[in-house]
Copies of this chain bind each other. A is one copy, B any other.
């Protein structure tokens, strides 16, 4: 064990907050998971809100930043879609509980929280990709789809199976490992689906 106490707390907090959400999380439980004393949580992070922000901001960045990178890259459209879906699904497979956590808190914390987040962080920016789609349509190389909805479709198909995972997993009656393998094979399925949908 060479991890600092601060790291132990952050790891434990990430685990408990992502599973239970802000309101249902108990500082005592974070301390238990971290294997340290409850008082130390306040020594390092002052209060529950600040500890939460530390966990949430990191989780949110992990999504927003990667999105912008790929969206703004200099690549042909089909390659870009393929690269995005592949990379984004990899992030989700590695962190299957994160999307529901982030979406969750955004829903519950209210508009002020979301606005504050948008000002503070560089927000996800789909405009480069949307512009590229428009150009391809004008050039007649893809079908005339609404670019906004196309991006929304792509994001939906990637993220939703993770957010609604308990439901789908219960319906399909498969264990965790099998479900994640399904998500692995889903990458190519989404890419093909989008490709077929927008080809002329």
Contact = CB atoms under 8 A, between A and B. Distances in A.
A193 B153 CA distance: 9
A145 B190 CA distance: 10
Count the copies.
2
Interface string A131-150: 00000000000010110111
A164 B153 contact: no
Interface residues on A, range: 35 or more
Interface of A: 19-24, 97, 100, 103-104, 106-108, 111, 114-115, 118, 123-126, 143, 145-146, 148-150, 152-153, 155-157, 159-161, 163-168, 170-172, 182, 186, 189-190, 192-194, 196-199
9 contacts: A23-B23, A100-B107, A103-B167, A106-B164, A145-B189, A149-B186, A155-B160, A156-B160, A197-B197
